[in-house]
Chain A
C-alpha cells in the first residue's frame, strides 16, 4: 500500500473527447507527478505540481493539463483525445522524506 490512490481504474473514451483522471495522496507532501506508460514502455514524465503550480513538464502538448488542490489531491486533464493517448496513467507522490516516489496503481485509459 503506497497511500496513493487513483480513480477510475479503467476508462474508455472516444477520440476527440476530454478526460479527467484523479489522484489522492496520504503522504502529506505537496508535490505530485504524473506519468504516461504506453504498452511495453517505461513511464514517461508528463508534469509535476508543487504547491498547486506546475513545476516541470515533460515532452507533452498543452492539451495535457493538471491541477493540484490544497488537500494534496490532483487531476490530470487531457483534451482532444487521440488514439495514441491510450496508456496507463500513473500518479506519484514523494515519501515523507522525499527519498522515493510512491506510485498509485494507475488509470488504464483506452481511446477508441
Chain B
C-alpha cells in the first residue's frame, strides 16, 4: 500500500532561519504530490503541488519543493521563515491511475517559529 513519511514531527525555528521539511512516499509509478498547511483553527490550505514538468515547484508565501524521483522525495523548503509560518504541514500523494481524488497524507510536521 502507498504511504507517505514525514520524518520531522516537530520543528522549532527562530525567525529568518531556513526551513526544510522532509517527505518520502512509497509508490513506484506516477504520482501527484502536494504540500498542505493547516494554521491553528483553520482549514487545510494548498501550499504547492507537483504534477509533471519542472521538479522544482514554487508555491505561496515563499515556499518551494523539489521532487526527486530517484529518492521518492518531495521536500518542502523556505529560505527564511516568519512567525506567521507557525502551523502544521502535511505532505500528500495522489495516484492518478486509480481514477479517484484520494489523497494519502503523511502524519504532519508541526512547525513553531519564535520571534
Contact = CB atoms under 8 A, between A and B. Distances in A.
**A and B associate:** yes
Interface of A: 2, 4, 31, 33, 35, 40-45, 48, 55-56, 58, 90, 92, 94, 98-101, 103-106
Contact of A44 (B45, B51, B100, B105): B105
19 contacts: A31-B101, A33-B103, A42-B6, A42-B90, A42-B92, A43-B103, A44-B105, A45-B102, A55-B100, A56-B98, A56-B100, A56-B102, A90-B43, A99-B49, A100-B49, A101-B103, A103-B36, A103-B44, A106-B43
- Between B46, B103, B105, the greatest number of chain A beta carbons within 10 A of the residue's beta carbon is seen for B103
B107 A101 contact: no
A2 B44 CA distance: 9
Given A43-B90, A48-B100, A56-B98, A100 B34 contact: yes
B22 to A, nearest CB: 14
Interface in B34-61: 34, 36, 42-46, 49, 51
A101 B101 contact: yes
Contacts of A106: 43
A43 B104 CA distance: 8
Contacts of A104: 43
Interface residues of B, number: 23
B43 A45 contact: no
Interface of B: 4, 6, 34, 36, 42-46, 49, 51, 90, 92, 98, 100-108
Contacts of A103: 36, 43-45
A52 B23 CA distance: 34
B105 A33 contact: no
Nearest to A106: B43
Nearest to A6: B43
Nearest to A31: B101
A24 B105 CA distance: 23
B41 to A, nearest CB: 8
A35 B18 CA distance: 32
Given A56-B98, A99-B51, A100-B34, A45 B46 contact: no
